[in-house]
Every structure is written in structure tokens, then in C-alpha cells.
Amino acid sequence: MWIRTLTLTLTIGAGLIGRPASAALGAPEEAIETSTAEVILPRSVGGALMTKPCDVCKPVTVRLESDTRLLIGKQQVTLAEFSKFLESGGPYDLSIFYDKKSFAMNRIVVRAKLGRK
């Protein structure tokens, strides 16, 4: 019995080698790690941003939607608050998470604390 379990485990593991974790799990979301110095974020719903997820990747265009979550650190803010914070300083590191099929931004996370410059 343990041989069958071991064989099944090795077969599944071999099938996952060489694929990114997101592909193996069927994740519907991709992420772009960047900086506010590298991209110009949309200032209104429907606005778009074109960037490359990595040095060898093809450019992608992602859209800001009305349901895109905007976070400064762990605190969710409005688009107006988000824009005002970004204008007040920086540059800041950020992560942009988007839907792989629709290219709509799910959330943008600035790695900073609100009230801190």
C-alpha cells in the first residue's frame, strides 16, 4: 500500500516540476512587483497601466476598476486618498495584482504606512 502511495506522490510531484506555482494551482491572479518610480498609476476608474511583469516578460496592460482594492500597507483607502498619499512622497514599492483573463486590477498594495512619509 505504501508503495502505491509513494508512486502516486512522486508522479504528481514530477508533473508539477518546472511549472510556476500559480500555474500548478490554477491561480486566476498574477502579480507585478514594481515601484511608483517605475510606473504611472491610473488616477481614475477605467484608467490603464502598461508594464512588464518581469524583465523577459511581454508587456501587459491592466485596468483600474471600480472594485479594485487600494491599500496603503494593510489599510484600505479610497482612490482620492491613495492618489494624495502617492503625491505626498515616495518613491514607494508596490504590488499590483490583476486577473489573468480580464486584466482588471484586483488590488494595488503600497508598501508603506498611512500617515508616514
**Among 60, 82, 87, which residue's Cα sits nearest to residue 69?**
82
70: how many CB neighbours lie within 10 A of its CB?
Answer: 21
pLDDT in tens, 88-117: 888 999 999 999 999 999 999 999 988 755
* pLDDT score for 113: 86
Residue 110 φ/ψ, nearest 5 degrees: -90, 130
Does the domain at 28-110 match CATH 2.40.50? Answer given as yes
Max distance between CA atoms of the chain, in angstroms, equals: 63
**Among 102, 8, 97, which residue's Cα sits nearest to residue 110?**
97
**Among 22, 75, 79, 26, which residue's Cα sits nearest to residue 53?**
22
Spatial contact of 62 and 49, defined as CB atoms under 8 Å apart: yes
pLDDT, averaged per 10 consecutive residues of the chain (117 residues), comes to: 47 49 65 92 93 88 96 95 90 95 96 75
Q: In the chain, what are the domain boundaries?
A: 28-110
